[in-house]
Structure 1
Amino acid sequence: MEKKEERPWCMITEMDQYLFGQGTHYEIYKKLGAHLTEYEGEKGVYFAVWAPHAKGVRVVGEFNCWGSDGYRMNRLEPLGIYEVFVPGLEEGCMYKYLIETEKGDYLYKADPFAFYAEKRPGTASRVADISGFTWHDDRWMTKRAGWNAAESPMSIYEVHPGSWKRHPHEEDEDGFYNYRELAAELTEYIKKMGYTHIELMGIAEHPFDGSWGYQVTGYFAPTSRYGTPEDFQYMIDYFHKHNIGVILDWVPAHFPRDAHGLANFDGEALYEHPDSRRGEHPDWGTKIFNYEKSEVRNFLIANALFWLGEYHVDGLRVDAVASMLYLDYGKQDGQWLPNKYGGNENLDAVWFFKHLNSIIHGRGDGSMIIAEESTAWPGVTKDVDDGGLGFTFKWNMGWMNDFLEYMKLDPYFRKDNHNKMTFAMSYAYSENYILVLSHDEVVHLKCSMLNKMPGYLDDKFANLKAGYTFMFGHPGKKLLFMGNEFAQLQEWSEARELDWFLLKEDRHLHMQNYVRALLQLYKKYRCLYELDDSWDGFQWINADDSYRSIFSFVRYSKTKRKNLLFVMNFTPMERPDYRVGVPKKKKYELVLDSDAEEYGGSGRKRAKVYDAKKGSCDNQKYYVEYPLSAYGTAVFEF
């Protein structure tokens, strides 16, 4: 009997099909897609694609001049996966799947599992081998595995790589920094400022720059705008070698209708729900993933694990979670279908999140998953075993909205809106929160952070410093979008770099200095992060001084050593005779003063240490006297 030659490791087996059909093939990306291999003594590429509704599928590409006479793929049952080995093909070659539908139409589709894509405006996939990179971040990965996210400092710099900085360029060039250039330049800047993490927007391949990467066509491909997959690996490795954590934006909520993408992939709804009331976002013009289908859930879960595993990414920030949880999100009556119980909860999406987060946390490697969730859905960061969704953190959108509404007000009206700044403490420990001032708040006529502030230019800067101080003192991890740290004047646009020239002006340089001081303070003092999930770490001194619009509170460490007292004045009125209540008869050392010359203040000489005096103030037995300047902020260690 003739010996049957073994198929290469990447070829689809019956077990692969079974696991994929069950939604539990967490490394399906190693089977579907395009893989360099050797078969029957010849080197080439093995292609596999899931297209159960297709009448037939061929691989076409630059190797056959994109003709329709490509390599016919063989269908595997029962899932309708098509496969073929093409000898002679090499890394980098461009290809697509030519899908013949049951109606007789022909569709040219990019590979949903491609590791690399042609640079836009091209839409082809490229063969890529991502297994050859030598990582140098063992120390980081080992340290991360023992990381307690809740009790660790986490200050995130949110970056859109294509518009952080750009090279001077001709009209027909983008001027993008590549991944390797970004690695060096961003690392230098992040370390100078004191951020602990970077969050990267728009990494998964997408056709339209104006979507900022939130309409994805290549879920397994780092965008070719900035280089190759190996370049991207180099960047992550470089960040880790310099102790910078990496978070990627991840978009499992929806995908675009582009002809080469996932929409109607094999002539019918495959990745999206077939009923438009479940499968389309009317406001966004995009398709919604079909979370009922196990293969679709598997595609998304494997994709999340792919970024965390193959690219050593430290966390995923899940975009538009609310749109997944609610069947009626952004829809009018008649545009949505209730669940089987008559409610608006998307039960399949809930199950998807619980499954996904259980797998991610079950790995025990310290990786995070963060929800951008804008509603009061309960238990977003609660353990799945306790009935929660299982996310590591949740963006605190409620705090952000109240904070910005307050900060926009003329100081005269702030006394009537004092609760906007205090309300978040009523629910601060219901979830594990990240306080965010993200890209969404500085686009589309929302104004830059600086231009949200009231008053003349000097007032705007002083207001923003006071606001940032409140943010860094408030419980919760921190996120600032690029440009916010030096008070970018224009709204953000993906089409141009940040206005770095502003740093030649004193006001903007002073703002950058002040934010750097806040970031350094945040990392230095454990009281600002290790009890973010407990009332043991926070005490209001005066939450009710609405008439003067002054807030004061204490942040405590676990050991009650090196605690910090925050005082913030949100009016242009000086308070030379200001007294603040304090909980202990101790010495209070001034560690941050917004009135310092290096931050654009008056530079007035002040004492460095203040003795608490006995006397009732702010319901405390002791007080400290401190001359509080207009829009002044002060932080004391005790």
Structure 2
Amino acid sequence: MAILEHAYYGSFGYQVTNFFAPSSRFGTPEDLKKLIDTAHENGIIVLLDLVHSHASKNVEDGLNMFDGSDYCYFHEGPKGVHSLWDSRLFNYGHWEVLRFLLSNLRWWMDEFMFDGFRFDGVTSMLYKHHGIGFGFSGDYHEYFGESVDEEAVVYLMLANAMLHEVYPLVITIAEDVSGIPALCRPVEEGGLGFDYRMAMAVPDKWIQLLKENKDEDWNMGNIVHTLTNRRYKEKTVCYCESHDQALVGDKTLAFWLMDKEMYTNMSKFCKRSLIIDRGIALHKMIRFLTYTLAGEAYLNFIGNEWGHPEWLDFPRVGNNESFHYARRQWNLLFDNCLLYQYLNNFDIAMHHLEVNHPWLLSPQAYVSLAHEDDKVIVFERAQLVFIFNFHPYKSFENYRIGLEYSGTYKVIFTSDDEAFYGFTRIDKEYLYSTVQIGLHGRLYSFQVFKACM
């Protein structure tokens, strides 16, 4: 992120001044190549956060008024200005703009060997209103009416067709909040050709719940709907929080859950606290439920995996150009006296579990239960049964759940493990045998003697 050259650090890289230069504030182009080569040597795929949706208004060091006019690369007049971002909007109907942007894609792939792109601001590109003041209901007239910018749609189709033809292993991800159909279907099918879309409603939902509701009032059906509301056979990147949630003015998930005691009771040597116990438990459950139910790829962001305590901020006039919050406190993770390590242990274990039972490659889960009074969610995916108990104080014995496949089951993963700062109350050795009693629309069922606590 923030790789393309930008003059204003506080823009987080989204006010690009030079599309063909890696930002000099991070080092030389050779340093970036070395970083990517090292990642590849370790089996890590590297994607570039790409801003082709708009450009900086800067005249001296940007494309704006490149030839003395305001329409060389951009739309003329007010149409060429994004009113919220205060930036210039490309005219995708101009042949030279297409040449410029497509060659930009080739340059980053050929010169730096990136593995693909996350296209920023796709919603702004797709619609003439740029999504400003517009709430998408999902009605098809919103996606195929006069508000759609057909020239931008054609550019995105061209970009994806070119990338996937020239670089067969390329990965492209769209940041889109509108839910436009066929965004992630191949161009030859009439789609826009992306491989994944970002599940942007998911982190918004978690932050909304933490802001507006006590966890005992959370609606299980609403959570399940948000996590499963995605286009059929269009792959989704799911995540719990990003810079949209963790920037100044908001809080990280961990901070929303535990800010009352995060500066005082995160030591292993403190007496156990209900706030910290509850916060750590919910942080684990939020991440695991999102990971297993909400998509075909999973994203961690800026310390989310170990519960970073504080927000992000960038030097700007409003904070007297301070760098104080322009960092992640990785030292907290590596302090063995603090509890952050347990959240990170849980993250590592989640990924190992997915490697052994690849649910991300499996069809969307079948949710058999979202019980509002019990606060229990049950679903099946990748031949596993997932049980989440969000009730603030109840555990359940002899809790019967339905499932599709008969056989013998055992617990292979629980958030209550001591390694994850749990209480080790779940018996991982007990074998659960199904009976031919259908329940919740499934053919079989068994009783869970102790559901997840």
Which residue type is aligned with residue 350 of structure 2?
L
Q: Distance in 2 between matches of 1:203 and 1:248?
A: 8
Write the mapping of 1:125-164 to structure 2, written as runs, cut at 5 A.
none
2:364 corresponds to 1:522? no
Write the mapping of 1:383-462 to structure 2, written as runs, cut at 5 A.
383-406=186-209, 408=211, 409-415=213-219, 418-436=221-239, 437-453=241-257, 456-462=275-281
Counterpart of 2:339 in structure 1 is: 507
Q: Distance in 1 between matches of 2:431 and 2:394?
A: 19
Q: Deviations over 1:520-563 (max 9, x none)?
A: 2122222x1222xx45xx32231x3121111111112xxxxxx2
2:181 corresponds to 1:381? no
Q: 1:331 to 1:539 in 2, by over 3 A?
A: closer
Counterpart of 1:472 in structure 2 is: 291
Q: Deviations over 1:50-91 (max 9, x none)?
A: xxxxxxxxxxxxxxxxxxxxxxxxxxxxxxxxxxxxxxxxxx
Write the mapping of 1:547-562 to structure 2, written as runs, cut at 5 A.
547-556=373-382
Q: Which has the larger radius of gyration?
A: 1
**C-alpha root-mean-square deviation of aligned residues, in Å?**
2.3
Which 5+ residue runs of structure 1 have no aligned equivalent? Answer: 1-200, 334-340, 557-562, 633-638
Q: Deviations over 1:3-24 (max 9, x none)?
A: xxxxxxxxxxxxxxxxxxxxxx
Counterpart of 2:405 in structure 1 is: 584
Counterpart of 1:626 in structure 2 is: 449
Q: 1:362 to 1:270 in 2, by over 3 A?
A: same
Contact 2:126 2:153 in 1 (8 A): yes
- Taking only the aligned residue pairs, the percentage that are identical comes to 27
Counterpart of 2:318 in structure 1 is: none
Q: Distance in 2 between matches of 1:594 and 1:407?
A: 20
TM-score normalised per structure 1: 0.61
Counterpart of 2:2 in structure 1 is: 202
2:21 corresponds to 1:221? yes
Q: Distance in 2 between matches of 1:433 and 1:551?
A: 21
The CA deviation at 1:423 is: 4.3
TM-score normalised per structure 2: 0.85
Counterpart of 1:267 in structure 2 is: 68
Q: Deviations over 1:578-600 (max 9, x none)?
A: 33333333221212111111101
Contact 1:406 1:421 in 2 (8 A): no
Counterpart of 1:307 in structure 2 is: 108
Q: Distance in 1 between matches of 2:31 and 2:224?
A: 43
Which residue type is aligned with residue 405 of structure 2?
K
Contact 1:438 1:479 in 2 (8 A): no
Q: Deviations over 1:282-334 (max 9, x none)?
A: 1111111111211111111111121122211011000000111111125589x
Contact 1:589 1:609 in 2 (8 A): yes
Contact 1:271 1:289 in 2 (8 A): no
Q: Deviations over 1:108-155 (max 9, x none)?
A: xxxxxxxxxxxxxxxxxxxxxxxxxxxxxxxxxxxxxxxxxxxxxxxx
From 278, 288, 300, give the equivalent of 2:79. 278
Which residue type is aligned with residue 246 of structure 2?
V
Contact 2:199 2:236 in 1 (8 A): yes
Q: Distance in 2 between matches of 1:613 and 1:373?
A: 42
From 410, 414, 421, give the equivalent of 1:593. 414
Q: Distance in 1 between matches of 2:3 and 2:309?
A: 26
2:282 corresponds to 1:463? yes
SS of 1:252's equivalent in the other structure is: coil
Q: Deviations over 1:18-44 (max 9, x none)?
A: xxxxxxxxxxxxxxxxxxxxxxxxxxx
The CA deviation at 1:203 is: 0.8
Contact 1:584 1:612 in 2 (8 A): no
Which residue type is aligned with residue 481 of structure 1?
F
Q: Distance in 2 between matches of 1:332 and 1:500?
A: 38
Counterpart of 2:130 in structure 1 is: 329
The CA deviation at 1:364 is: 4.3
SS of 2:300's equivalent in the other structure is: strand
Q: Distance in 1 between matches of 2:376 and 2:86?
A: 45
From 135, 149, 152, give the equivalent of 1:349. 152
Q: Distance in 2 between matches of 1:524 and 1:428?
A: 26
Counterpart of 2:368 in structure 1 is: 541
> Comparing both structures, which one devotes a greater share of its residues to strand?
1
Counterpart of 1:490 in structure 2 is: 310
